[in-house]
Chains A and B, each alone.
Chain A
Amino acid sequence: MTKKNSLFYEFMKGILKENPLLILVLGTCPALAVTTSAENGLGMGVAATAVLIMSNAVISALRKVIPDKVRIPAFITIIAALVTILQFLMEAYVPALNASLGIFIPLITVNCIILGRAEAFANSHGVVRSAIDGLGMGVGFTLALFFIGSIREILGFGTFFGMKMPWITEGGLQPMMIFGLPAGGFAVFGVMIAITQKLNKRFYARQPQAVMGCSECPGCINAHTAPADHASNALEGQVTEEKVVVPNTMREPGVLANLKEVKQAEKEETK
């Protein structure tokens, strides 16, 4: 495998090892909603990739300026601004795609992948590295959306990029409508996750687990990490406080900063 810490590694990890959609299971909403055709899937992927690269670069450049306490609102504002710019561009140059993606373009703002990468990677790495990470994650996301979109379009409508499949004939094989409907979206996505996890186990010879973890992303709790479970148990006094894993972003904004100060004070005392 490629050497760790090289730029190529940062790019490649987004494609299979840490595929944002199929391994980390982030950004599921657009993945299910817009993948009724290969074209839509590809368009959504490219749009999200553009925002991801830009947001990672901008946030990485500003990481020393943004105070720790207000970083989440600051990140969201930056991302929302970038998404608004993207929306303008899409309205101007690809109006048909813009219309078919609908509200899922503005919803890129709250896509867990983007905020998650900002929090987990861009906030602690340099500009170039963050942009490459954004590109890799974006390509991984795009590929996943493209595959899901292709499967659903071919099976559900009998077309691929609008071209009719040869085996769809009068009185012969008919497309299965269910794959174009929401139910088919869930099913295809489920099978894709199963296949990717299998591939991942083979290539990387280890249990594919979220390296980044959804706990970094306040809006998204997935099957791997359920911080709310721990937190709710703690609230009812079922778990002792030390064992509780609450994601940073769920804590009071001041707590983290205070923690640093307390630790520093402790260090100084011991000296």
Chain B
Amino acid sequence: MKEMLIILFSVVLIDNLVLSRFLGVCSFLGLTKDLKNAMGMSIAVIFVMIVATGITYPIYWSILEPINLGYLQTVVFILVIAAVVQVLEAIIRKAFPPLYKAMGIYLPLITTNCAILGVMLINIQEIYNFGSAMMSSFGAGVGYMLAMFLFTGVRSKMEKADIPEFMQGLPITLMAASIVSVSFMGFKGVIENLFG
């Protein structure tokens, strides 16, 4: 249990997916204009992340690794992610219409979101059992959500600010992201102090 909590805290706060690992930056910059988009995308990412880990992790360790095809992981994972996204979209549309309304349109965008493939690869490299891998994926999704929500708040304040013409648009957004990233550096020692 303690190990699980350590994984959760470290992937959400310290190794935050967006702000310190730089995965999913495209959607982080593009979809944080209002809270509705940020929420839909985050829910979709968490959902796909968990399902895809549940499939790719066993595939790697029970099929690819024993027959020495580990190097095919990129090809296999990207196809699995694409298939998972298609199937999930169909299932959710039929079975849970409210959920589809909240996140349905973001699902096709996820296939080439580097956050998903990145987390799959990190899990294979760094995490050594299935439970922890699932926890780390869930944590990565939650970390993504946290970063999206915080940044949406920052950007909504920024819209009213008077910005020099030179920096308008994307440049000032990146500067703001930089400051949000600095704030996450404050979490550095949190694990040592919480879990000793």
Hey, which chain A residues are within 8 Å of B152, CB to CB?
Answer: none
Chain A: CB-nearest residue to B32: A223
- Count of residues in A whose CB is under 8 Å from the partner chain: 56
- Collect the chain A residues with CB atoms within 8 Å of residue B166's CB: 194, 198
Which of A11-19, A125-133, A167-175, A224-232 touches B? Answer: A224-232
Q: Which residues of A contact B179 (CB under 8 A)?
A: 183
Interface residues of B, count at CB 8 A: 56
Smallest Cβ-Cβ distance to B26: which chain A residue: A220
Binary per-residue interface labels of chain A (186-200) against chain B in the complex, 1 for a CB within 8 Å, 0 otherwise: 110111011001100
B145 nearest CB across to chain A (Å): 16
Within the assembled complex, what's the spacing in Å between the Cα atoms of A198 and B168?
11
Say which residue of B31, B106, B178, B185 sits within 8 Å of A186 (CB atoms).
Answer: B178
Q: In B147-196, which residues have CB < 8 Å from any A CB?
A: 166-167, 169-175, 177-179, 181-182, 185
Query: Which residue numbers of A lie inside 8 Å of B, CB to CB?
Result: 25-26, 28-30, 32-33, 72-73, 76-77, 80-81, 83-84, 87-88, 103, 106-107, 109-112, 115, 178, 181-187, 189-191, 193-194, 197-198, 214, 217-223, 226, 228-229, 231-232, 235, 249-250
A221, B173: Cβ atoms under 8 Å?
no
**Which chain B residues border A197 with CB–CB below 8 Å?**
171
In angstroms, Cα B117 to Cα A261, docked, is 36
Shortest C-beta distance, A48 to chain B (Å), equals: 13
Cβ B178 vs Cβ A232 within 8 A: no
CB of B140 closer than 8 Å to a CB of A: no
**Contact assessment for B171 and A191 in the assembled complex, using a CB-CB cutoff below 8 Å:** yes
| Complex contact A187–B175 (CB within 8 A) | yes
Give A22's nearest chain B residue, CB to CB. Answer: B170
Chain B positions within 8 Å of A83 at CB level: 74
Q: Most chain-B CB neighbours within 10 Å: which of A115, A184, A221?
A: A221
- CA of A109 to CA of B112 in the docked complex: distance in angstroms? 8
- CB of B170 within 8 A of CB of A223, answer yes
A-B contact count (CB 8 A): 170
What is the CA–CA distance of A26 and B23 in the complex, to the nearest angstrom?
13
Q: B22 near A84 (CB under 8 angstroms)? A: no
Given the known interface contacts A110-B113, A186-B181, A190-B175, the answer about A81 and B29 at a Cβ–Cβ threshold of 8 Å is no
B105 close to A77 (CB less than 8 A): no
B29 touches A223 (CB 8 A): yes
Given A183-B182, A190-B170, A194-B167, check contact A218 B25 (CB 8 Å).
Answer: no
Task: State the CA gap A76–B181 with chains docked (Å).
Answer: 31
Given A110-B117, A226-B30, A229-B33, 7 more contacts at CB 8 Å?
A28-B25, A76-B78, A185-B178, A187-B174, A187-B175, A219-B27, A221-B31
5 residue pairs A–B, Cβ–Cβ below 8 Å: A32-B22, A106-B121, A190-B167, A219-B27, A250-B108
A232, B103: Cα distance in complex, Å: 9
What is the chain A residue whose CB lies nearest that of B168?
A194
A84 in contact with B108 (CB, 8 Å): no
User: Once bound together, how far apart are the Cα atoms of A220 and B79, in whole Å?
Assistant: 18
Which residue of chain A has the shortest Cβ distance to B173 in the bound complex? A223
Tell me the smallest distance from the CB of A108 to a CB of chain B, in Å.
Answer: 9
